[in-house]
Amino acid sequence: MMSDQDMQNQKQAEKAQTKDKNTAAVKTNELAAKIQRNLEAMKQARNSEASGEFFKMQSGQKTVLQFTGDFSPELREFPEKDATGNVVKDRDGNPKIVKKVRYEYKVIDLNNQDKGVQTWAVSKSVSMSIESLLAEGFLTLKVSREGSDMGTKYFFVPVGSGKAAE
């Protein structure tokens, strides 16, 4: 038979276990809610990409882009990649993140005008090529892409006459 002290100790232990279970349930619910929010954010990001918020080209693709005149440099975070295009990871196995300036242009893909104005993010070297043509007044360019990752090259051919601003 248990003494009164033993019974009190047992009841306190049971209360502590119940409290631990409730705390764990709250933490699990908080985690589930956080995961649900992140899943929704990822879904929205994929939908905005599919709906055409950002313009992207594949290797071998050709199109005609009309530049709206809106462009700016933007600091973005990316997973770091090595020379072969593989993601570099830290000692814990997480992708290393690097910040890079991307040059973003508002464009209309004349072959897919239903997508409306899209953002095209490019590297500094591609931006310099685009800006030299924009400075000459060419707002519409035939663009072709060759290669992938670090080997990507874009080729531009102006459409129409230059000095569009005049």
CA dihedral 127, 128, 131, 136 (to 10 degrees): -150
Alpha-carbon distances, residue 41 vs 13, 30, 33, 38 (angstroms): 42, 17, 12, 5
Structure confidence by residue, pLDDT tens digits, 60-77: 999 999 999 999 999 988
Listed by start position, the domains of the chain span: 1-51, 54-158
**CB-based burial of residue 148 (10 Å sphere; 0-12 exposed, 13-18 middle, 19+ buried)?**
exposed
pTM beyond 0.75: the answer is: no
Please check the confidence at residue 50 and state whether its pLDDT lies above 60: no
